[in-house]
Amino acid sequence: MSTYTVPDQDTGADVELDVFIDERDPERWKWRAISIIVVLTFLAIWELLPRLGLVSTIILPPVTDVWAGLTELVMQDTFPRHLRVTLVEMLVGFLIGTLIGFAIGVALGVWESVKKSVYPLVVAFQSLPKIVLAPLLITWFGYGIESKIAMAVVIAFFPVLINTMVGLETVPDEARQLMRSLKASRGQVFRKLSLPHAAPFIMAGIKTGLTFAVIGAIVGEFVGSSEGLGYLLHAYGFQLRIDKVFAVIVVLSLIGAILYFAIDWLERRMIYWRTDSSLV
Amino acid sequence: MNASGGQQGLIRYENVSMTYPSTRGRPPLKALEPVNLAIEKGEFICLVGPSGCGKTTLLKISAALLSPTQGNVVFNGAPLNEPSRSIGVMFQKPVLLPWRTVEKNAYLPAEISGTMSSAIAERVAKVLTMVGLHDFATALPDQLSGGMQQRAAMARTLAYEPELMLMDEPFGALDEFTRETMNLELSELTHQAGITSLFVTHNIPEAVFLADRVVVMSPRPGRVSGIVEVPFPKPRTVDFMRDPGFTELTFEVRNILSEAESSSTRVAEEQP
């Protein structure tokens, strides 16, 4: 069992989650089979409810129709453009948000005076539901890609900021004393102790930030845009092309999953030591 | 000449006292009454006393991690105002960086002082062999047992041949058997290298086993209530623990401790 620290999505506070991971679980095949059966049952019910006339196909199109809608969608000439626009918004927003969050997090985590003077503002900003900023950002940055990037930045930077700050602040006292007894400079303490200590926290913040950037880009497109997957979703909804709505949702969840697993892979590469260690 | 009979000592405490300033409305805390002590080159000093008697405070002052409110610490004839690279510190925890291998943890002091070289790498390899971690040089700390982790911390200190080694209950968290083995090894290693040692513990047999002199401290505010000489040859072996003289010395330390405790209780009771 491993303990993972994740920021709570509402409060930003760190929450510890106990996750059971055992790669050599002797029953893993059994559970894998059961989970596949659960998914298939879910899809079967989805298919049958509208087919048997229990639910209108306008409200819930059968899975097979969604699949047809999906193939139709990805074959459209305009699809690559919509996909590209949304990907650029998400990724650029995520990168800028991560950099801003990291920079502010370092400033808050390293300099006590910066924390004392700026932290109340940061908390006030966090308690704001960021979606209310969408119309404002569109007024400022226009109808195009920039306002969506801004929206992604605005929600993605916070988890990185808070986790960077907390990671830098939780360096154990004895490790600091060791560095002092070795006459390490402030820069050396930061590079050789604080930053690597904070790395697992920062990576967890980046993971959350990525999920948030996806939400930011889509919400930005909902509020006002002429291209992108969020725009398509909105447009198909108005046209009552619910099969296409579901098709876009499938594409979006695939994008989310791929990005998340990419970051997760990177994290496993970078954080190769046990983070619940009591050594330091 | 001075009170210590003309000898200056490698490290000398002159009226060193410590009062922690008041925090959050709590009154200032007097941790250490004036301490006068000289530790000679090559000596092994154990500091024993009940919890909260200022042992750790005195050790941190010796490392210049804390500065005393009054008095001076003289190291190698000069006032000790900042941490010195000739002073190695071992903490209660191993304080190994979990992202560095055992070997790279031992390189840390050299990396920080900018003196990393192949000579250092060779010395680290030698010291790791001495503490029995030769095969674990490239292991991560969390792959080691608690005793091995403290050995790695010991190697990180010993590789730089400190003149003075400060140890704050380094084996306190280990089980009794591992602790005994570690004490034997420590006794041998410091004796061989001629390293002057100040070792904090609240385990009386451990103190008598390791020390040339056991310095007994009274409960808070800490002061030196007695010094017990341990005139047995070094390095010590397990046989020493079976010697009647060993038992007698532990009783002697025990008696000084209880006397100090009861007199400090009296003082506390006399206060309104």
State the complex-level ipTM.
Answer: 0.86
Cα gap B223→B216, rounded to integer Å = 8
Cα gap B174→B206, rounded to integer Å = 13
Q: Decide if A278 and B97 are in contact by the 8 Å CB cutoff.
A: no
Q: Decide if A181 and B111 are in contact by the 8 Å CB cutoff.
A: no
A273 chain-B contacts, CB cut-off 8 A: 98-99, 140, 142
Rounded to two decimals, the pTM is: 0.82
- Cα A157–chain centre separation: 11
Region B30-38: mean pLDDT is 89
- Report the interhelical angle of A242-270 vs A229-238 (nearest 10°): 160
Cα gap B56→B91, rounded to integer Å = 10
The burial class, CB within 10 Å (0-12 / 13-18 / 19+), for A34 is exposed
pLDDT at residue B2 above 90? no
Q: Are B171 and B150 in contact (CB under 8 A)?
A: yes
- Kindly report the backbone phi and psi dihedral angles of residue A34, in degrees, each rounded to the nearest multiple of 5, phi listed first: -65, -40
Cα gap B156→B159, rounded to integer Å = 6
What is the least distance, in Å, from the CA of B157 to any CA of chain A? 10
pLDDT at residue B266 above 60? no
pLDDT at residue A96 above 90? yes
Please state, in angstroms and as integers, the Cα–Cα distance from residue A229 to each residue in A76, A155, A203, following that order: 13, 19, 27
Cα gap B240→B227, rounded to integer Å = 20
And the tokens for B20?
Answer: 């922690």
What is the least distance, in Å, from the CA of A36 to any CA of chain B? 36
What residues does each domain of chain B span? 1-21+42-86+166-260, 96-161
Q: Are A94 and A151 in contact (CB under 8 A)?
A: no
- Give A174's Cβ-side CA count (13 Å radius): 17
A172 preceded by cis ω (within 30°)? no
| A191: amino acid identity, one letter | R
Class (C level, CATH) for A63-279: mainly alpha
Q: Decide if A183 and B113 are in contact by the 8 Å CB cutoff.
A: yes
User: Which strand (E) or helix (H) includes residue A126?
Assistant: helix A112-126
Q: Decide if A183 and B142 are in contact by the 8 Å CB cutoff.
A: no
Q: Are B254 and B237 in contact (CB under 8 A)?
A: no
- Give B215's Cβ-side CA count (13 Å radius): 22
Region B21-34: mean pLDDT is 84
Model confidence at A25, in pLDDT bands (50, 70, 90)?
low
What is the least distance, in Å, from the CA of A149 to any CA of chain B? 35
Please state, in angstroms and as integers, the Cα–Cα distance from residue A53 to each residue in A48, A62, A244, following that order: 8, 11, 20
Model confidence at B223, in pLDDT bands (50, 70, 90)?
confident
Q: Decide if B91 and A174 are in contact by the 8 Å CB cutoff.
A: yes
Task: Give the closest of B65, B82, B141 to A279, CB-based.
Answer: B141
User: Which strand (E) or helix (H) includes residue B259?
Assistant: helix B244-270
Q: What percent of chain A clears pLDDT 90, i.e. is strictly above it?
A: 74
Model confidence at A279, in pLDDT bands (50, 70, 90)?
low
Closest C-alpha to B63, from A97, A179, A107:
A179
B145 chain-A contacts, CB cut-off 8 A: none
- Cα A47–chain centre separation: 30
B99 chain-A contacts, CB cut-off 8 A: 196, 199, 272-273
Task: Give the closest of B82, B98, B113 to A279, CB-based.
Answer: B98
pLDDT at residue A12 above 60? no
Q: Which of A1-15, A86-100, A119-133, B137-151 has the highest mean pLDDT?
A: A86-100
CB pairs under 8 A between A and B: 72
pLDDT at residue B272 above 50? no
Model confidence at A215, in pLDDT bands (50, 70, 90)?
very high
Region B86-97: mean pLDDT is 93
Site from A174, A181, A193 to mutate, B interface, most B CB atoms within 10 angstroms: A181
Q: Decide if B112 and A177 are in contact by the 8 Å CB cutoff.
A: no
Please state, in angstroms and as integers, the Cα–Cα distance from residue A121 to each residue in A11, A114, B14, following that order: 15, 11, 50
pLDDT at residue B154 above 70? yes
Region B162-185: mean pLDDT is 89
The predicted structure's pLDDT at residue B264: 66
Residue holding tokens 């004490």? B183
And the tokens for A44?
Answer: 């079967």
Q: Which residue in chain A has the smallest CA separation from B162?
A: A182
Model confidence at B271, in pLDDT bands (50, 70, 90)?
very low
Cα gap A208→B40, rounded to integer Å = 57
And the tokens for A215?
Answer: 């939400």
Task: Give the closest of B89, B141, B149 to A181, CB-based.
Answer: B89
Closest C-alpha to B65, from B45, B44, B99, B95:
B95
Task: Give the closest of A182, A277, A279 to B109, CB-based.
Answer: A182
Strand order in the sheet with B224-229: B87-90, B164-168, B196-201, B44-48, B213-217, B224-229
And the tokens for B211?
Answer: 């020390």
Closest C-alpha to A236, from A53, A70, A63:
A70
Cα gap B24→B13, rounded to integer Å = 31
What residues does each domain of chain A span? 2-51, 63-279
pLDDT at residue B189 above 50? yes
Cα gap A206→A270, rounded to integer Å = 13
User: CB within 8 A of B209, min separation 6: which ones?
Assistant: B183, B187, B236, B240, B241, B246
The CATH number, out of the four listed (3.40.50.300, 3.40.1280.10, 3.40.47.10, 3.40.50.150), of the domain defined by the range B1-21+42-86+166-260: 3.40.50.300
Q: What is the dihedral of CA A231, A97, A14, B105, to 10 degrees?
A: 140
Chain B: which residues have CB within 8 Å of chain A? 60, 63, 65, 82-83, 85, 87-89, 91-99, 108-109, 111-113, 140-142, 149
pLDDT at residue A39 above 90? yes
Q: What is the pLDDT of residues A243-263, one digit of tens each?
A: 999 999 999 999 999 999 999
Q: Decide if B112 and A273 are in contact by the 8 Å CB cutoff.
A: no
Region B220-242: mean pLDDT is 88
